[in-house]
Chain A
Amino acid sequence: MTGRVHLYDIDNIDTDRIIPGKYTKTLNVSTFADHCLEDLDSDFKTKVQQGDILVGGWNFGCGSSREQAPIALKVSGISVVIARSFSRIFYRNAINIGLPILEIPEHDISDGTHLHIEFESGKVVDGDTEYSSTPLPQIMIDILNAGGLVQYLKKNKAYNL
């Protein structure tokens, strides 16, 4: 897939900044799009379009365990999150809801650029530069390929390593 980059190369973007706690208590998850990243960039919701790519810094998604954080990015239209590193719970949550994430510790990706992503190989092509992302364990690839953990368990009934 190919998508346009929204670059927030800031370390420790925590879940409160991705979706503040005061907006998380609802099952109407489409409302998260109105507030996603609002404390970091109040223009994000007007700039983002379906299929865009979010690029973050180190320790992206640290803080609370709220799954509402990756859901907020997904319902905003973000199709892939790339970061230098991810917090552990955000990493699991994103895969579990079927939002692909790629860890690329060292990169020089610019805001507004278009990236081409090959999910099979984990390669990210930025013009003449090609980046390799940290490989996911097989179980996470399986969960992602199923479309998320709900679909994975509906199909498999149990975890398989």
Chain B
Amino acid sequence: MGQTITEKILSTHAGHDVKAGDLAIVNVDAAMASDTTAPLALKAFKEMGGVNPWNPEKTIFVIDHASPAPNERIANLHKQMREFAMSTDSILYDEGSGICHQIMVEEEHVKPGQLIIGADSHTVTYGALGAFSTGVGSTDLAAIMLTGKTWLKVPESIKIILNGKPNSGISAKDIILDVVGKIGLNGATYKTLEYSGSTLKYLTLGDRMTIANMAVEMGGKAGIFETSSLELPYNFEPVLPDSDAEYIKTVTIDVSSIRPKIAKPHSPDNICDIDDVIGTKIDMAFIGTCTNGRLEDLQLAASILKGKQLASGIRMLITPASRNILNQAMADGTMNILSEAGATFIPPGCGPCVGTHLGVPGNDEVILSTANRNFPGRMGNPNSHIYLASPAVVAASALSGVITDPASIGHVETRKKVNK
């Protein structure tokens, strides 16, 4: 019987062939924790008797969730992370570096075919690169720091075939919101989503990260792309599924017919076409997060906002996903355009998405966000209403003050093939 991508990667890391349903102890290629999860992980690691991580060069800490520190309690947690990284020679990306998932990819801590475990649920993002990556809690991460291994149940896979060329103005976010709406919040629990199809040749690495990122919004253990059409700055051997691999389900999506999508409050699977909510008044627009805070997202927003001003009474927050992205957006004038339009910048990091500090909405306020979650209280106030959308929709809506289809204000972005 042939193997899925998941079964192939997990077999390699178990040292023997495994199939869906098997329990396996697997070698981990890198372990990552953020400032939300690292402090508890370090505590558990020490309680387990740990002193030095199994491989310091593969042990990565990122200060991104509440960064820079908003109070002394969090400042001292950050300090603990710095001291541990310094004393053990493990890797630390300090405040301002950016969101852990963006950094893991930019700094090449993850490569195709690897198995990466992170103490953050959006670790699934690295499936964009054809890696098997998934999120765990702090104690599981501590165990990897101690042993270099973890145990897991080899998940069954759902094959998602994305076919067709996305229409003008349709982004990777619209595609994944469509997928989440079809699969549902619980539809991929314990399972891997494996993406293939003719649409892949139109999807950049950033696009694939946006799509892989939201696997966990369907309960997925991972969301992995076939990498046969992906070009990276280094050579790699793509891990492809066997033609007779077994999938629990196959879902084919005609991407060419997708309209801009919105996730309405208060669940990421509460999906509708933008047409159903056009004209909904918003108070705040937010572009950022591990889903949509990349350079192309900021550039797209700038192309819509250039020479214009935010609608009266609208706040717009922008959080570049990494310092690298911030630097590029400053160098090419993107940041100037956004600032002149009236946007407020937040340093690279998770920003308002997690409701820890900065950009917390008021009661009954409506936020249109490029993030991945809109559960009640997600942005720090359970009495606010979060809608999720693509960067183009968020930027266009910030101009008009109501949810707006970018095409209706003349914004048309044509997609071209980006891969062979």
Contact = CB atoms under 8 A, between A and B. Distances in A.
Interface of A: 11-12, 14, 16-17, 20-22, 24-27, 39, 58-59, 62-68, 85, 87-89, 92-93, 96-97, 137, 139, 148-150, 153-154, 157-159, 161
A73 B273 CA distance: 38
B36 A66 contact: yes
Interface of B: 23-25, 35-37, 39-40, 43-44, 47-49, 65-66, 73-74, 77, 118-121, 123, 135-140, 142-143, 146-147, 149-151, 153, 185-186, 189-190, 219, 221, 267, 354-356, 373, 375-378, 380, 382
Given A85-B189, A97-B139, A21 B149 contact: no
B384 to A, nearest CB: 12
A64 B219 CA distance: 10
B39 A27 contact: yes
A158 B147 contact: yes
Nearest to A96: B139
A112 B375 CA distance: 27
A92 B137 contact: yes
Given A65-B120, A93-B137, A139-B23, A87 B189 contact: yes
Contacts of A149: 44, 139-140, 142-143
A21 B24 CA distance: 32
Contacts of A154: 47-49
Contacts of A93: 136-137, 139-140
Contacts of B49: 153-154
B121 A65 contact: yes
A25 B146 contact: no
Contacts of A68: 40
A22 B355 contact: yes
Given A21-B356, A96-B137, A62 B219 contact: yes
Contacts of B355: 16, 20-22
Contact of A58 (B43, B136, B186): B186
A22 B137 CA distance: 17
B23 A137 contact: yes
Given A65-B118, A96-B139, 9 more contacts: A22-B380, A25-B39, A39-B377, A65-B121, A67-B37, A87-B189, A89-B136, A92-B140, A159-B150
Given A21-B36, A24-B36, A59 B74 contact: no
A88 B137 contact: no
Contacts of B146: 153
Nearest to B357: A22
B257 to A, nearest CB: 28
Contact of A66 (B25, B47, B137, B375): B137
A88 to B, nearest CB: 5
A120 to B, nearest CB: 21
Contact of B136 (A22, A65, A97, A159): A65
A150 B138 CA distance: 11
Contacts of B43: 27
A18 to B, nearest CB: 11
Given A68-B40, A96-B137, A150-B47, A159 B147 contact: yes
Given A21-B380, A59-B189, A150-B47, A65 B137 contact: yes
